[in-house]
Amino acid sequence: MTKMNKVGDLRRNSAEMIDDVEAGDEYVLARNGREVARVVPVAEETRWTHNGEGILEVLKWMSSPDLADLVDEARLAEQSGDL
């Protein structure tokens, strides 16, 4: 659900707004009656690795297992921030 709030309300109600966004709601922030920003949930599967298991399976069938292992290592490094 999209909710409208004034920019000033962000400071006063930020914890509640973040809880709502985390639950899937969206906020439109307005200043002087003009929309200036949207606060939306982050999609969990936006990275190329969102289907890492499927990618590895295809690599194992279509190429060498060594390549699949390298991709798996890169995926794990990306998730841990080691890249």
Question: At 7, which CATH number?
Answer: 3.40.1620
Q: Which residues pair with 34 in a beta bridge?
A: 31
Do 6 and 33 belong to one domain? yes
Do 31 and 54 belong to one domain? no
Do 33 and 7 belong to one domain? yes
Do 12 and 34 belong to one domain? yes
Comparing CA positions, the residue from 36, 71, 44 lying closest to residue 57 is 71
Do 55 and 74 belong to one domain? yes
Do 6 and 35 belong to one domain? yes
Domain that holds residue 54: 48-80
Please state the domain count of the chain: 2
Among 8-17, 21-30, 68-77, the range scoring the smallest mean pLDDT is 68-77
Report the percentage of the chain scoring pLDDT > 90.
11
Average pLDDT of the residues in 10-17: 86
